[in-house]
Copies of this chain bind each other. A is one copy, B any other.
Amino acid sequence: MKPIMEVAGLIGVEEEELELYGRYKAKLSSSLWERVKSRPNGKLVLVTAMNPTPAGEGKTLTTIGLAQALNMIGHRTVAALREPSLGPCFGMKGGATGSGRAQIIPAEDINLHFTGDLHAITSAHNLLAAMIDNHIYQGNTMRLDPQRIVWKRAMDMNDRSLRSIVTGLGDGNGAVREGGFLITTASEVMAVLCLSENIRDLKERLGRIIIGYNQEGEAVTASQLEAVEAMTILLKDAIKPNLVQTLEGTPVIVHGGPFANIAHGCSSVIGTRLALKLGNIVVTEAGFGADLGAEKFLDIKCRQAGLDPAAAVLVVTVKALKYNGGASKDKLHEPNMRALVDGLANMKRHVENLKKFGVPAVVAVNHFADDLPEEVELVLAECQALHVPAAVSKVWAEGGAGGCELAEALIRLLAEESSSYHPLYELETDIRSKIETIVKEIYRGAEVSFTPAALRSLGDIERLGYGSLPVCMAKTQYSFSDQPRLLGAPEGFTVQVREISLSAGAGFVVVQTGSIMTMPGLPKSPAAEHMRIDEDGRISGMF
């Protein structure tokens, strides 16, 4: 591992612009931004994916490996990634820092407390919660309705027992009311931090957060509770992007990690913007497949932040194609050309969709050791037929060297095809039209149905004046539809919108199809039980 100062030096960051957290992690100070902000931007490349198998497609892996490869072939490249959440590490084995020879390091630290950003977000979130209940307890001059407080509490832990709780029991402990905990990544404070441009913007967004309603039915905000300054104080370091490195010493900005369903699932705007000033190419990713991740990256993050993506990389795997072609989950390692051919429809649709945003795309076939040459050839041939460039990526096994073919394909694409990026829909149409546009254009559903509750919320949100916000779709990642088993490239389905809610601070309307779990649970045999640490602090069993 190189000292982080050396990694920073590769992209022209000076020693006094780093705030070290040990030898291998650092925060990038705001003076760095001031120094570089008038530079031209590098090219922004989004790594997204087809609809995955339940095991995932290697999007983070490909992002890291591609950045390594681009540096290897001479392009100054910075990766911009999300921060892992601590809670899930103790559930299922494996972190969120890539794997094989395409990892960011120190992986254990990044997966554990890192530089404390998630803890700071948890604290800011829970300070607001404490101030809400304290306001009620101390006389409730704002006449908050205890039964209509929508602000929950947050913890970075997989703890299903905290999903639904009753608080304030006992004598002198305040109003008894129903509440619950979200995992920290699902906090609106996280989404706000990730979309903010600077401290001023952070404050304004925190101030707009709706915490509940008063007895008159009016929305009450964090600003009215006078919580915003103290919350911002808690976030003053968390808002600074973190710098780490890949196994090959490529600089990586890791910052923010909002839930990819009830939020937009992209790393921070501040981190992305800074990366664009430091690298000629910035490789970033968005949560879930392109129907969710890329759509939200392009319709929410890029629009709000004025970012101009130059290209997208669509990660596919032979396994996921077979899965989408009907092969069963436990037989994906077996040859099945028929399923593979059928599954290509899923890839094809994602390629078409990316073009609807005006963003040129290249397909990355993330290679597994048991992929057959004829399977890989078939995928590449289909890409050729679709007139989309493609390359096999072997970054898990070979690191940057295994990603050079992909890197070169991307460089050719960037040289030959310029992006004409535009969001899919205009903000100034009504919420219902925006949802219908996404469902019909991206998901290719026939229609959208709304529950009465969703329609009621929709009306409330437009009456409150938030009708021109973008929509943040929450849907299963396994299908274009809202039905996890409807694989491939389904058509003619109806998407059922169950609930619509407002994230006024983040600046989007969450459209919920199916039920969303905002607090995970631990499995029967949690990974925590199998981890080990020796007397010198060396960890094993985390990955």
Contacts and interface: CB of A to CB of B under 8 A. Distances in A.
Interface of A: 19-23, 27, 30, 86, 90, 112-113, 116, 119-120, 122-123, 126-127, 129-131, 133-134, 137-139, 153, 155-170, 172-175, 178-179, 198-200, 203, 226-227, 229-230, 232-234, 236-237, 521-524, 526-529, 531-537, 539, 541-542
A164 B173 contact: yes
Given A21-B20, A524-B138, A236 B533 contact: yes
B198 A535 contact: yes
Given A160-B174, A165-B165, 11 more contacts: A20-B22, A30-B536, A119-B119, A123-B157, A126-B157, A127-B157, A133-B161, A134-B522, A164-B168, A229-B541, A236-B537
Contacts of A112: 233-234, 236
A236 B173 contact: no
Contacts of A521: 134, 137, 174
A470 B166 CA distance: 37
A19 B161 CA distance: 37
Contacts of A22: 19-21, 27
B159 A170 contact: no
B156 A229 contact: no
Copy total for this chain: 2
A268 B20 CA distance: 25
A62 to B, nearest CB: 28
A226 B236 CA distance: 37
24 contacts: A20-B21, A20-B23, A21-B22, A30-B536, A86-B123, A90-B230, A112-B233, A113-B120, A113-B234, A126-B157, A126-B159, A130-B159, A133-B161, A134-B521, A160-B168, A160-B174, A161-B175, A169-B178, A200-B535, A226-B529, A229-B533, A230-B528, A230-B531, A233-B542
A134 B522 CA distance: 6
B539 A233 contact: yes
A102 to B, nearest CB: 24
A526 to B, nearest CB: 6
A528 B131 contact: yes
A236 B159 contact: no
Contacts of A536: 30, 199
Nearest to A521: B134
Contacts of A137: 160-161, 521
Contacts of A158: 130
Nearest to A198: B535
A20 B170 CA distance: 44
Contacts of A233: 112, 531, 533, 539, 542
Contact of A529 (B116, B165, B230): B230
Nearest to A176: B161
A139 B524 CA distance: 9
Contacts of A123: 86, 113, 119, 156-157
B229 A532 contact: yes
Contact of A119 (B116, B131, B168, B172): B116
